[in-house]
Amino acid sequence: MMFDRIFEKDVAITGVGQSEVGRPVARSGMRLTLDACLDAIADAGLTRADIDGVACWPGDNNNGDAFSPVGPNALIGTLGLKVNWYGGGYEGPGPLAGIINGAMAIASGLCRHVLVFRTITEASRRKVDKNASALTNKTIGRDSSFFWQWYTPFNVLSAINLMALYTQRHFHEYGTTPEQLAQIALTCRANAALNPKAIYRTPLSLDDYFASRMISTPLRVLDCDVHCDASTAIILSRADAANDGPNPPIRLEAIGAALHQPWSWDQIDLTATAARDVGEMMWARTDLKPKDVGSAQLYDGFSILTMIWLEALGLCPRGESGRFVEGGRRIARDGELPINTNGGQLSGGRTHGLGYVHEACTQLWGRAGERQIAPHHVSVVAAGGGPLGGSVLLVRD
Protein backbone atom coordinates (compact mmCIF):
# COMPACT_ATOMS: atom_id res chain seq x y z
CA MET A 1 0.00 0.00 0.00
CA MET A 2 1.28 3.45 -1.01
CA PHE A 3 -0.28 6.74 -0.04
CA ASP A 4 0.72 10.22 -1.17
CA ARG A 5 -1.60 12.20 1.09
CA ILE A 6 -1.98 11.50 4.80
CA PHE A 7 -5.12 13.45 5.68
CA GLU A 8 -5.15 12.53 9.35
CA LYS A 9 -2.05 14.63 10.03
CA ASP A 10 -4.38 17.64 9.86
CA VAL A 11 -6.38 16.32 12.85
CA ALA A 12 -5.81 16.07 16.60
CA ILE A 13 -7.70 14.95 19.68
CA THR A 14 -8.26 17.89 22.01
CA GLY A 15 -10.64 16.48 24.62
CA VAL A 16 -12.16 13.26 25.91
CA GLY A 17 -15.15 12.47 28.08
CA GLN A 18 -16.95 9.52 29.56
CA SER A 19 -20.12 8.91 31.52
CA GLU A 20 -20.39 6.72 34.56
CA VAL A 21 -19.57 3.11 33.58
CA GLY A 22 -21.70 0.50 35.31
CA ARG A 23 -23.56 -2.76 35.24
CA PRO A 24 -26.12 -1.26 35.03
CA VAL A 25 -26.31 2.55 35.35
CA ALA A 26 -29.73 3.96 36.22
CA ARG A 27 -29.60 6.57 33.45
CA SER A 28 -31.04 6.54 29.94
CA GLY A 29 -28.82 6.05 26.93
CA MET A 30 -29.37 9.69 26.01
CA ARG A 31 -28.43 10.89 29.50
CA LEU A 32 -25.23 8.80 29.39
CA THR A 33 -24.48 10.27 25.97
CA LEU A 34 -24.96 13.82 27.21
CA ASP A 35 -22.75 13.14 30.23
CA ALA A 36 -19.93 11.91 27.97
CA CYS A 37 -20.29 14.57 25.28
CA LEU A 38 -20.51 17.56 27.62
CA ASP A 39 -17.55 16.17 29.57
CA ALA A 40 -15.50 15.93 26.34
CA ILE A 41 -16.52 19.38 25.03
CA ALA A 42 -15.52 20.98 28.35
CA ASP A 43 -12.29 19.00 28.44
CA ALA A 44 -11.34 20.47 25.06
CA GLY A 45 -12.07 23.98 26.34
CA LEU A 46 -14.94 24.34 23.87
CA THR A 47 -18.65 25.04 24.05
CA ARG A 48 -21.54 23.37 22.22
CA ALA A 49 -21.46 26.23 19.70
CA ASP A 50 -17.95 25.21 18.61
CA ILE A 51 -19.02 21.71 17.55
CA ASP A 52 -19.75 21.64 13.81
CA GLY A 53 -19.67 17.90 13.17
CA VAL A 54 -20.85 14.65 14.81
CA ALA A 55 -19.63 11.12 14.09
CA CYS A 56 -20.66 7.80 15.56
CA TRP A 57 -20.32 4.08 14.92
CA PRO A 58 -22.64 2.24 14.50
CA GLY A 59 -25.28 4.93 15.07
CA ASP A 60 -28.91 4.08 15.62
CA ASN A 61 -29.28 1.72 12.66
CA ASN A 62 -30.22 -0.85 15.26
CA ASN A 63 -33.31 1.21 16.04
CA GLY A 64 -32.57 1.99 19.62
CA ASP A 65 -31.20 -1.45 20.42
CA ALA A 66 -28.99 -1.57 23.51
CA PHE A 67 -25.96 -2.16 21.25
CA SER A 68 -26.29 1.46 20.12
CA PRO A 69 -29.26 3.28 21.63
CA VAL A 70 -28.24 6.77 20.51
CA GLY A 71 -27.00 7.96 17.13
CA PRO A 72 -26.13 11.37 15.69
CA ASN A 73 -29.71 12.04 14.54
CA ALA A 74 -31.06 12.00 18.09
CA LEU A 75 -28.11 13.80 19.64
CA ILE A 76 -27.95 16.82 17.34
CA GLY A 77 -31.33 18.27 18.32
CA THR A 78 -31.16 17.18 21.94
CA LEU A 79 -27.86 18.97 22.43
CA GLY A 80 -28.85 21.92 20.23
CA LEU A 81 -25.91 21.46 17.87
CA LYS A 82 -25.55 23.20 14.50
CA VAL A 83 -23.45 20.92 12.33
CA ASN A 84 -22.03 21.10 8.82
CA TRP A 85 -21.68 17.33 8.63
CA TYR A 86 -22.73 14.25 10.61
CA GLY A 87 -22.55 10.53 10.05
CA GLY A 88 -23.11 7.14 11.61
CA GLY A 89 -23.87 3.68 10.32
CA TYR A 90 -22.56 0.18 10.84
CA GLU A 91 -20.85 -0.33 7.49
CA GLY A 92 -17.36 0.94 8.16
CA PRO A 93 -14.04 -0.15 9.58
CA GLY A 94 -15.32 -1.20 12.98
CA PRO A 95 -15.67 0.61 16.29
CA LEU A 96 -13.11 3.30 15.36
CA ALA A 97 -15.06 4.26 12.23
CA GLY A 98 -16.41 7.35 13.99
CA ILE A 99 -12.87 8.60 14.62
CA ILE A 100 -11.82 7.88 11.04
CA ASN A 101 -14.94 9.43 9.47
CA GLY A 102 -14.76 12.47 11.73
CA ALA A 103 -11.12 12.99 10.81
CA MET A 104 -12.01 12.78 7.12
CA ALA A 105 -14.72 15.41 7.61
CA ILE A 106 -12.19 17.76 9.19
CA ALA A 107 -9.45 17.12 6.65
CA SER A 108 -11.86 17.70 3.77
CA GLY A 109 -12.75 21.12 5.12
CA LEU A 110 -16.28 20.43 6.32
CA CYS A 111 -15.67 20.86 10.05
CA ARG A 112 -13.31 22.33 12.65
CA HIS A 113 -14.40 20.40 15.75
CA VAL A 114 -16.11 17.00 15.44
CA LEU A 115 -17.79 15.30 18.38
CA VAL A 116 -17.32 11.51 18.14
CA PHE A 117 -19.32 9.36 20.55
CA ARG A 118 -20.36 5.78 21.29
CA THR A 119 -23.11 4.78 23.71
CA ILE A 120 -24.03 1.31 24.84
CA THR A 121 -26.70 0.13 27.33
CA GLU A 122 -26.31 -3.64 27.15
CA ALA A 123 -26.12 -4.09 30.92
CA SER A 124 -29.56 -2.55 31.47
CA ARG A 125 -30.99 -4.51 28.59
CA ARG A 126 -29.67 -7.80 29.95
CA LYS A 127 -31.62 -7.25 33.16
CA VAL A 128 -34.68 -7.78 30.97
CA ASP A 129 -33.33 -10.24 28.36
CA LYS A 130 -30.30 -12.25 29.42
CA ASN A 131 -29.34 -13.05 25.85
CA ALA A 132 -29.52 -9.43 24.69
CA SER A 133 -26.51 -8.57 22.55
CA ALA A 134 -25.07 -12.06 22.92
CA LEU A 135 -27.20 -13.21 20.05
CA THR A 136 -26.17 -11.73 16.78
CA ASN A 137 -29.27 -11.96 14.66
CA LYS A 138 -32.66 -11.34 16.20
CA THR A 139 -34.62 -11.10 12.96
CA ILE A 140 -37.97 -12.84 13.05
CA GLY A 141 -38.51 -15.61 10.51
CA ARG A 142 -35.99 -16.68 7.91
CA ASP A 143 -32.53 -15.17 7.87
CA SER A 144 -31.99 -12.84 4.92
CA SER A 145 -28.75 -11.26 6.11
CA PHE A 146 -26.03 -11.43 3.49
CA PHE A 147 -23.67 -12.98 6.03
CA TRP A 148 -25.60 -14.37 9.03
CA GLN A 149 -27.56 -16.69 6.73
CA TRP A 150 -24.33 -18.69 6.39
CA TYR A 151 -24.04 -19.17 10.15
CA THR A 152 -27.40 -19.22 11.91
CA PRO A 153 -28.67 -22.41 10.18
CA PHE A 154 -25.76 -24.19 11.90
CA ASN A 155 -26.70 -22.67 15.26
CA VAL A 156 -23.83 -20.23 15.18
CA LEU A 157 -25.91 -17.80 17.17
CA SER A 158 -23.21 -15.76 18.86
CA ALA A 159 -19.99 -14.23 17.60
CA ILE A 160 -18.08 -16.32 20.14
CA ASN A 161 -18.40 -19.42 17.94
CA LEU A 162 -16.59 -17.62 15.14
CA MET A 163 -13.96 -16.27 17.54
CA ALA A 164 -13.48 -19.81 18.85
CA LEU A 165 -12.80 -21.01 15.30
CA TYR A 166 -10.05 -18.39 14.97
CA THR A 167 -8.62 -19.37 18.34
CA GLN A 168 -8.55 -23.10 17.63
CA ARG A 169 -6.84 -22.44 14.30
CA HIS A 170 -4.27 -20.18 15.99
CA PHE A 171 -3.57 -22.94 18.53
CA HIS A 172 -3.15 -25.44 15.67
CA GLU A 173 -0.95 -23.33 13.39
CA TYR A 174 1.30 -21.70 15.97
CA GLY A 175 1.18 -23.87 19.08
CA THR A 176 -0.50 -21.15 21.11
CA THR A 177 -1.74 -22.51 24.45
CA PRO A 178 -4.73 -21.80 26.70
CA GLU A 179 -2.28 -20.69 29.42
CA GLN A 180 -0.88 -18.07 27.05
CA LEU A 181 -4.33 -16.89 25.97
CA ALA A 182 -5.35 -16.55 29.63
CA GLN A 183 -2.75 -13.80 30.06
CA ILE A 184 -5.00 -11.36 28.22
CA ALA A 185 -7.79 -11.79 30.76
CA LEU A 186 -5.36 -11.80 33.69
CA THR A 187 -3.54 -8.68 32.50
CA CYS A 188 -6.79 -6.79 31.98
CA ARG A 189 -8.00 -7.75 35.45
CA ALA A 190 -4.75 -6.64 37.07
CA ASN A 191 -5.06 -3.28 35.30
CA ALA A 192 -8.72 -2.93 36.22
CA ALA A 193 -7.82 -3.19 39.90
CA LEU A 194 -6.35 0.32 39.59
CA ASN A 195 -9.28 1.78 37.64
CA PRO A 196 -12.12 2.97 39.88
CA LYS A 197 -14.54 2.89 36.91
CA ALA A 198 -13.81 -0.73 35.95
CA ILE A 199 -16.58 -3.31 36.28
CA TYR A 200 -14.52 -6.22 37.67
CA ARG A 201 -11.62 -5.34 39.98
CA THR A 202 -11.07 -8.36 42.22
CA PRO A 203 -7.81 -10.24 41.54
CA LEU A 204 -7.90 -13.10 39.04
CA SER A 205 -5.61 -16.12 39.03
CA LEU A 206 -4.80 -18.66 36.34
CA ASP A 207 -6.76 -21.21 38.41
CA ASP A 208 -9.77 -18.88 38.41
CA TYR A 209 -9.47 -18.63 34.64
CA PHE A 210 -9.44 -22.39 34.14
CA ALA A 211 -12.32 -22.81 36.59
CA SER A 212 -14.49 -20.40 34.60
CA ARG A 213 -17.33 -21.70 32.47
CA MET A 214 -16.57 -22.96 28.95
CA ILE A 215 -18.74 -21.23 26.35
CA SER A 216 -17.32 -22.42 23.03
CA THR A 217 -14.04 -24.34 23.16
CA PRO A 218 -11.43 -23.14 23.83
CA LEU A 219 -13.04 -19.83 24.86
CA ARG A 220 -14.36 -19.40 28.40
CA VAL A 221 -16.62 -16.79 29.89
CA LEU A 222 -13.52 -14.91 31.06
CA ASP A 223 -12.43 -14.60 27.40
CA CYS A 224 -15.55 -12.51 26.73
CA ASP A 225 -15.88 -8.83 27.49
CA VAL A 226 -18.28 -7.65 30.17
CA HIS A 227 -21.47 -5.83 29.23
CA CYS A 228 -21.98 -2.38 30.70
CA ASP A 229 -23.86 0.86 30.34
CA ALA A 230 -21.59 3.70 29.28
CA SER A 231 -20.96 6.45 26.80
CA THR A 232 -17.59 7.75 25.63
CA ALA A 233 -16.90 10.89 23.61
CA ILE A 234 -13.82 12.22 21.82
CA ILE A 235 -13.29 15.70 20.36
CA LEU A 236 -11.40 15.86 17.06
CA SER A 237 -10.09 19.28 16.05
CA ARG A 238 -8.42 20.66 12.95
CA ALA A 239 -4.70 20.98 13.63
CA ASP A 240 -4.72 24.78 13.37
CA ALA A 241 -7.55 24.94 15.91
CA ALA A 242 -6.10 22.36 18.28
CA ASN A 243 -3.69 24.54 20.23
CA ASP A 244 -6.22 26.87 21.84
CA GLY A 245 -7.52 24.48 24.49
CA PRO A 246 -6.14 23.33 27.83
CA ASN A 247 -4.81 19.96 26.58
CA PRO A 248 -1.70 19.43 24.47
CA PRO A 249 -3.11 18.14 21.17
CA ILE A 250 -2.77 14.43 20.51
CA ARG A 251 -2.13 14.07 16.80
CA LEU A 252 -3.61 11.36 14.61
CA GLU A 253 -0.30 10.18 13.18
CA ALA A 254 -1.79 7.43 11.02
CA ILE A 255 -5.00 5.50 10.63
CA GLY A 256 -5.69 2.01 9.31
CA ALA A 257 -9.02 1.09 7.72
CA ALA A 258 -8.20 -1.33 4.92
CA LEU A 259 -10.09 -4.48 3.99
CA HIS A 260 -8.44 -6.44 1.19
CA GLN A 261 -10.47 -9.59 1.85
CA PRO A 262 -14.20 -10.38 1.73
CA TRP A 263 -16.41 -8.86 4.42
CA SER A 264 -16.98 -12.27 5.95
CA TRP A 265 -16.22 -14.00 9.22
CA ASP A 266 -15.14 -17.30 7.61
CA GLN A 267 -13.80 -16.40 4.14
CA ILE A 268 -10.96 -14.24 5.54
CA ASP A 269 -7.58 -15.36 6.84
CA LEU A 270 -8.69 -16.95 10.11
CA THR A 271 -5.64 -16.02 12.17
CA ALA A 272 -4.89 -12.60 10.65
CA THR A 273 -8.40 -11.34 9.79
CA ALA A 274 -8.95 -7.80 8.54
CA ALA A 275 -6.51 -6.68 11.23
CA ARG A 276 -3.62 -7.63 8.93
CA ASP A 277 -4.79 -5.21 6.22
CA VAL A 278 -5.43 -2.50 8.80
CA GLY A 279 -1.95 -2.82 10.29
CA GLU A 280 -0.22 -2.77 6.91
CA MET A 281 -2.12 0.35 5.94
CA MET A 282 -1.41 2.18 9.18
CA TRP A 283 2.35 1.62 9.03
CA ALA A 284 2.41 2.61 5.34
CA ARG A 285 1.18 6.07 6.42
CA THR A 286 3.91 6.96 8.94
CA ASP A 287 7.66 6.93 9.45
CA LEU A 288 7.16 5.64 12.98
CA LYS A 289 7.73 1.93 13.63
CA PRO A 290 6.18 -0.60 15.99
CA LYS A 291 9.18 -0.20 18.31
CA ASP A 292 8.15 3.45 18.89
CA VAL A 293 4.84 2.43 20.50
CA GLY A 294 4.77 3.07 24.25
CA SER A 295 1.34 1.64 25.00
CA ALA A 296 -1.31 -0.29 23.10
CA GLN A 297 -5.05 -0.33 23.63
CA LEU A 298 -6.15 -3.42 21.69
CA TYR A 299 -9.69 -4.63 21.24
CA ASP A 300 -10.61 -7.42 23.63
CA GLY A 301 -14.25 -8.07 22.89
CA PHE A 302 -12.83 -11.59 22.94
CA SER A 303 -9.32 -12.29 24.23
CA ILE A 304 -8.13 -13.87 20.98
CA LEU A 305 -8.67 -10.58 19.17
CA THR A 306 -6.04 -8.85 21.31
CA MET A 307 -3.59 -11.59 20.28
CA ILE A 308 -4.49 -11.09 16.61
CA TRP A 309 -4.02 -7.31 16.90
CA LEU A 310 -0.60 -7.72 18.55
CA GLU A 311 0.54 -9.63 15.46
CA ALA A 312 -1.35 -7.60 12.86
CA LEU A 313 0.14 -4.33 14.12
CA GLY A 314 3.66 -5.79 14.08
CA LEU A 315 4.00 -5.47 17.86
CA CYS A 316 5.19 -9.08 17.75
CA PRO A 317 5.85 -11.38 14.78
CA ARG A 318 2.97 -13.27 13.18
CA GLY A 319 2.15 -16.40 15.13
CA GLU A 320 4.23 -15.26 18.11
CA SER A 321 1.55 -13.56 20.22
CA GLY A 322 1.24 -16.58 22.51
CA ARG A 323 4.93 -16.57 23.35
CA PHE A 324 4.90 -12.74 23.52
CA VAL A 325 2.23 -12.63 26.24
CA GLU A 326 3.41 -15.74 28.09
CA GLY A 327 3.73 -15.05 31.79
CA GLY A 328 2.24 -11.60 31.24
CA ARG A 329 5.39 -9.61 31.97
CA ARG A 330 5.84 -7.91 28.58
CA ILE A 331 2.25 -6.66 28.45
CA ALA A 332 1.96 -5.64 32.11
CA ARG A 333 1.67 -1.97 33.02
CA ASP A 334 5.40 -1.88 33.86
CA GLY A 335 6.38 -4.14 30.94
CA GLU A 336 7.86 -3.31 27.54
CA LEU A 337 4.41 -2.90 25.95
CA PRO A 338 1.61 -2.14 28.42
CA ILE A 339 -1.79 -3.07 26.97
CA ASN A 340 -5.37 -2.24 27.93
CA THR A 341 -4.28 -0.17 30.89
CA ASN A 342 -7.81 0.57 32.12
CA GLY A 343 -8.74 -3.11 32.24
CA GLY A 344 -9.83 -3.31 28.61
CA GLN A 345 -13.33 -4.45 27.86
CA LEU A 346 -12.72 -7.81 29.55
CA SER A 347 -12.66 -6.25 33.02
CA GLY A 348 -13.16 -2.51 32.48
CA GLY A 349 -16.40 -2.81 30.56
CA ARG A 350 -17.56 -3.16 26.97
CA THR A 351 -17.53 0.53 26.06
CA HIS A 352 -16.96 -0.85 22.56
CA GLY A 353 -14.17 0.97 20.85
CA LEU A 354 -13.94 4.55 22.03
CA GLY A 355 -13.05 3.46 25.56
CA TYR A 356 -9.63 2.50 24.22
CA VAL A 357 -9.15 5.94 22.65
CA HIS A 358 -10.22 7.58 25.90
CA GLU A 359 -7.69 5.53 27.85
CA ALA A 360 -4.86 6.11 25.36
CA CYS A 361 -5.35 9.89 25.61
CA THR A 362 -5.70 9.76 29.39
CA GLN A 363 -2.34 7.99 29.59
CA LEU A 364 -0.63 10.25 27.03
CA TRP A 365 -1.79 13.31 29.00
CA GLY A 366 -0.56 11.79 32.27
CA ARG A 367 -4.02 11.98 33.84
CA ALA A 368 -4.49 8.29 34.68
CA GLY A 369 -3.96 8.66 38.41
CA GLU A 370 -3.13 5.45 40.22
CA ARG A 371 -2.97 3.46 36.98
CA GLN A 372 -0.68 5.93 35.18
CA ILE A 373 2.10 4.11 33.34
CA ALA A 374 5.55 5.45 32.44
CA PRO A 375 5.52 8.66 30.34
CA HIS A 376 5.43 7.99 26.60
CA HIS A 377 4.56 9.84 23.40
CA VAL A 378 3.12 7.18 21.09
CA SER A 379 0.10 4.95 21.64
CA VAL A 380 -1.71 2.68 19.22
CA VAL A 381 -5.42 1.91 19.41
CA ALA A 382 -7.05 -0.86 17.37
CA ALA A 383 -10.59 -2.18 17.46
CA GLY A 384 -12.71 -4.79 15.78
CA GLY A 385 -12.75 -8.49 15.01
CA GLY A 386 -13.12 -10.64 11.91
CA PRO A 387 -13.85 -8.41 8.92
CA LEU A 388 -14.32 -5.36 11.14
CA GLY A 389 -11.13 -3.49 11.90
CA GLY A 390 -9.64 -0.05 12.30
CA SER A 391 -6.65 1.47 14.02
CA VAL A 392 -5.19 4.82 14.92
CA LEU A 393 -1.68 5.77 15.91
CA LEU A 394 -1.71 8.63 18.43
CA VAL A 395 1.22 10.96 19.15
CA ARG A 396 1.63 13.58 21.84
CA ASP A 397 4.64 15.64 20.72
The distance of closest approach from Cβ of residue 140 to other proteins in the complex, given in angstroms and rounded to an integer, is 10
Q: Which is closer to other proteins, CB of 128 or CB of 140?
A: 140
The distance of closest approach from Cβ of residue 268 to other proteins in the complex, given in angstroms and rounded to an integer, is 11
76 C-beta neighbours (distance < 10 Å), count: 16
Strands 11-18 and 229-238: antiparallel
The distance of closest approach from Cβ of residue 217 to other proteins in the complex, given in angstroms and rounded to an integer, is 4
Q: Which is closer to other proteins, CB of 162 or CB of 250?
A: 162
The distance of closest approach from Cβ of residue 351 to other proteins in the complex, given in angstroms and rounded to an integer, is 24
Q: Which is closer to other proteins, CB of 109 or CB of 153?
A: 153
Which residues here bind other proteins, judged by CB under 8 A? 131, 134-135, 137, 141-144, 149-158, 160-162, 164-169, 172, 213-219, 262, 264, 266-267, 270
Q: For the chain, report the end-to-end CA distance as a whole number of angstroms.
A: 26
DSSP 79: T
Q: Which is closer to other proteins, CB of 215 or CB of 364?
A: 215
- The amino acid sitting at 134 is A
- All residues at 6 or more sequence positions from 240 whose CB lies less than 8 Å from its CB, including other chains: none
Dihedral angle sign, alpha carbons of residues 259, 138, 164, 343: positive
The distance of closest approach from Cβ of residue 332 to other proteins in the complex, given in angstroms and rounded to an integer, is 29
Long-range CB pairs of 86-90 (<8 Å, 24+ gap) are 86/53, 86/54, 86/55, 87/54, 87/55, 87/56, 87/59, 88/55, 88/56, 88/57, 88/58, 88/59, 88/60, 88/61, 89/57, 89/58, 89/59, 89/61, 90/57, 90/58, 90/59, 90/61, 90/62
Cross-strand bridge partners of residue 214: 220
Q: Which is closer to other proteins, CB of 143 or CB of 320?
A: 143
Q: Which is closer to other proteins, CB of 166 or CB of 299?
A: 166
The distance of closest approach from Cβ of residue 172 to other proteins in the complex, given in angstroms and rounded to an integer, is 5
